Structure 1
């Protein structure tokens, strides 16, 4: 008990701060990725062959951009984006320096996830909306996006947990967060108990995120009622 009290006295404030930094590196990039990824995902679906407004060139260009973005390992991505990060965020270090590359890396991933979520919407609903004279904008907003909310929320959970792993990589090059704690204390200083504490906090964060999103999905999913 005394050891535990001493541990929290020595590392409690630091672990709390880095946990908050990790949460920021999950929430902010996920929000940005959704804001940008949803329009891209919609365009990918609408412009695809058989979509509401097929456009082969647009679909091919967007598809290539998204695929290229998804194919670059994040550890390379964050290094390549350092000049752009400095311009946009004013720094390439710390939490601020990690948010931009995390968001950029998440956008292609989110765009494909949105496209897949929208593609799962019952085609009968789309045909019904068209028969009532709904235009493309109305179909996208009132049918595709509205009906795919549960799937999009599941995607948000996946995105948050994925970015938790990415934030650990960002921490290795000066972004802070629990990944930085695990490397700096557990690997460089051989303080294994601090590394274990960081890992346990990550596990708890994942469980909390998944549990919250499961509850939210059950509440909004009409099929579960």
Structure 2
């Protein structure tokens, strides 16, 4: 599913106190495309990602997935679309401590009233090296394992687009490399569009396309 934005922007406040978090931006991402989004803290990276994922409301402009205009949807329809087509991975793992790794992974399906597809569940957890950790609670998992559970949760509903905001920010270099290897492998295997916000230059250089944001302005692709 193609992801397209046209002059999307986000302001906070108004008048003399207005903050232009993201200036008008037009971008196109093809199905299965992989891109890194880089820039200084506060430059607008997370704002862009949140607008692409329907987590924030733009001040103006359009975000379209295929023929679906994200911000013309009613709230319930938007929530349903996110659950079925968009996966999110954040720096904070956001796992529910009272749930096992398996239960955390299945949360998106439960929210959408869907049942677990056993073959796909097995494929995802084995691809992420989690098959022997599914009965563990988050406090019994390492940081790298918790992040992989978060990735499994983001993938379990077959998303078309995976949006990752500093997914390796809390990990050491070894776990960071492993997590990114998984993301690239799964993106290529299942033709998932992979967009990753990162401060890590080594990670950004692995992507075929790099977008740089400065003061809310998305500069030319650095690919």
TM-score by length of 1: 0.27
TM-score normalised according to structure 2 size: 0.27
The answer to which structure has the higher helix fraction is 1
Which of 1 and 2 has greater Rg? 1
